[in-house]
Chain A
Amino acid sequence: MTNTSPVPTATARPAQEPVRPGLSIIMLDKKRRVRRRISKTLSWTVLVVLLLVTLFPFYWMLRTSFSTNGDLAANSGSLLPAHFSVNGWKRVLGLSTAKEALADGGSGASLDFRLYLRNSLVVATLTTVVQTSFSALAAYAFARLRWPGRDAIFFLFLTALMVPPIFTMLPNFILIRDLGLLNSYLGIVLPNLLMAPFSVFFLRQFFLGIPRELEEASRLDGAGYIRTFFSVILPISNAPITTLAILTYITSWNDYFWPLLVGKSESVRVLTVALGVFRSQTPQGSPDWAGLMAATLISALPIFILFAAMGRRVINSIGFSGLK
């Protein structure tokens, strides 16, 4: 690296300076400071613009959700809600009658985002709790216990990361159908319930870094492998497990493809699938935008709350191990 840079010029430069090198260095310094300040201001401007581009669509969801459909069309350019109203929210929460909904440009079809919210909560919570637990157990066995075939099986687990999900989803659909689990919570969660290769990999990586002395001390105290895991390893692994759980929760919450295949019926419909259905209803030639944006906010809100509470962990987890 170092051999590419112009070492000779750096030493030669002072010799070329005029009589009073001290002053010119000060002036150069000042000039450089001004230039640096300008470039810093410019950089901040670009960054702020990028942040605004990032934030604008979220604001637009909010603004649209508090408008009425009629006024959205008439007043589509205004930055504030076009005729402030909470009817969009009432509509998607199933709190307004079909007649009111139709009058406001809704479809009048039954919409109950409270139900879809509950379904998403059930699916994401179940997936996160069970998947993280079983992945942690497996990760520990791969990281710290010695047993025949360990490395070969771990390698096999890792290859699963390479398989495009759709490759296994088609046959899994047949399997879930044959088990009679279409349109059930179990059918939606089952393929991801028992493990995720990424989770096993992520936690194994962490367990490998725990000093062995801790386990040995516990074993000398007479604790078995199982007790050592639960009373020594788990407590100190709190942070990575929580991080992983948050990431799993978000992934599960946002999943669309699989629930679309197996969970179409209303009783188990999760938010993402419900949004897709809602979008294809076009009551008066165009979708019920106000209602749709209220619905997207309802779907995004729990994740934002989670993020507000635990955001630091999520942000810090995004590095190399966090490639997901």
Chain B
Amino acid sequence: MRKVKMAQPAPAAALRRTGRFSIARSRETRVALLFVAPAAIGFLTFTLVPAIRGFYYSFTDYNMFQPAQGVGLANYRKLVADPIFWNSLRVTLEYVVINIGIQTVVALGIAMLMHRLTKSMLVRGIILAPYLVANVIVALVWFWILDYQIGIGNQMLAALGIHRLAFFGDGALAIPTIALINVWRYMGYTALLLFAGLQMIPKDVYEAAALDGASEWKTFWRVTMPLLRPVLSLVLIVSIVGSFQTFDTVAVTTKGGPVNATRVIYFYIYDLAFNRYQFGYAATISVALFVILAGVTLIQLRMTRANQSDLS
């Protein structure tokens, strides 16, 4: 593969100097445009134009039934003074920190275990299973397992002599519960990504470390982690951005409650637009989310130098 990539397309270079070139070139362009056209139409209609419209709506008062009315920066002023928005941001952050913190550690543990013990497809298949089913399904199963009265989770707590917990009904527990449910869904998938990263670390680095008498603990921190860093930071960026956009689990379990305890930002936007018909304001919060995510990505890229590897 690599050898061939380096070979230059000689005939094309030869063509370039002849008159036939322009004819061949224009035919190539026509075919290319034909190939790109459907995707480009899809991109324009359902991504680019809506993105611009979304930005425009953020400066309007729009209830979806009457035409949008321009209101300048009013929505943005409202956003700055909206306690529910700031609360939703805080709740989302709490969710992201718990979710990503635990998920990354657990996934790294699973990846290390698999790297050490087995490449079995069965193990990898099982570990991936939760990721394959819908968020909605995962949410419902755990909603049932953690049911206050007859869920098996609370039955176990009761059997252990601990009092039952209202996992979804207690404002202090609801976000950690939802965060952990999604740890369960994504830990295997994240582990497989990290596992693939571990497999890329050359064996001789470990042999050198073993020869030097480095303990496993030391090898992990001095060899594995630095070499895994590019993969780890890429995984972190993708999972943090995804985590900020959590919606499904909240939508089928707590619906933002109790009070506003689980009103994550995505759910707040949905609620504003489709239950309260404040479409313009919902668009404003979407812009804010967009800015936040772009900021998070940039900061992370800076901090982790994701594009650089210590290998080489």
Chain A interface (Cβ within 8 Å of chain B)?
1-2, 4-7, 9-10, 13, 40, 43-44, 46-47, 50-51, 53-55, 57-58, 60-61, 64, 72-73, 76-77, 134-135, 137-138, 140-142, 145-148, 150, 153, 156-157, 160, 162-175, 177, 190-195, 197, 200, 209, 211-213, 216, 219-220, 224-226, 229, 250, 253-257, 260-261, 271-272, 275-276, 279, 286, 289, 292-293, 296, 299-300, 303-304, 307, 311-312, 314-315, 318-320, 322-323
Contact = CB atoms under 8 A, between A and B. Distances in A.
A320 B269 contact: no
Contacts of B114: 47
Given A134-B39, A162-B297, A256 B121 contact: no
B73 interface: no
A4 B222 contact: yes
Contact of B113 (A13, A47, A174, A256): A47
B193 A300 contact: no
A300 B124 contact: no
11 contacts: A10-B213, A57-B138, A138-B39, A153-B40, A164-B293, A166-B266, A171-B57, A254-B135, A275-B137, A275-B252, A292-B144
Given A2-B208, A173-B273, 6 more contacts: A1-B227, A138-B35, A147-B28, A211-B1, A254-B134, A299-B137
B128 A315 contact: yes
A2 B1 CA distance: 31
A90 B126 CA distance: 29
Contact of B39 (A9, A44, A200, A300): A200
A276 B36 contact: no
A47 to B, nearest CB: 5
Contact of B32 (A53, A145, A166, A303): A145
Contacts of A289: 144, 147
Interface of B: 1, 4-5, 7, 9, 11, 25, 27-29, 31-36, 38-43, 45-51, 53-54, 57, 64, 109-110, 113-114, 116-118, 121, 123-130, 132-138, 140-145, 147, 149-152, 155, 159, 184, 188-189, 192-193, 196, 205, 208-209, 211-214, 222-223, 226-227, 231, 234-235, 238, 241, 244-245, 247-248, 251-252, 266, 269-270, 273-274, 279, 282-283, 286-287, 289-290, 293-294, 297, 310
A213 B113 contact: no
Contacts of B244: 164
B54 A170 contact: yes
A318 B31 contact: no
Contacts of B43: 156-157, 160, 194-195, 197
B188 A54 contact: yes
A141 B46 contact: no
Nearest to A148: B29
Contact of A195 (B1, B38, B50, B245): B38
Contacts of A271: 134
Contact of A315 (B192, B222, B293): B192
A174 B64 contact: yes
A5 B222 contact: yes
B167 to A, nearest CB: 14
Contacts of B25: 146
Contacts of A2: 208
A76 B155 contact: yes
B50 A171 contact: yes
A60 B1 CA distance: 48
A323 B234 contact: yes
A7 B212 contact: yes
Given A60-B145, A195-B42, A137 B134 contact: no
Nearest to A216: B11
Nearest to B192: A318
Contacts of B226: 1
Given A145-B28, A168-B51, A254-B135, A54 B290 contact: no
Given A2-B208, A5-B208, A170-B273, A194 B38 contact: yes
Given A164-B289, A292-B140, A72 B150 contact: yes
A246 to B, nearest CB: 10
B51 to A, nearest CB: 6
Contacts of A312: 121
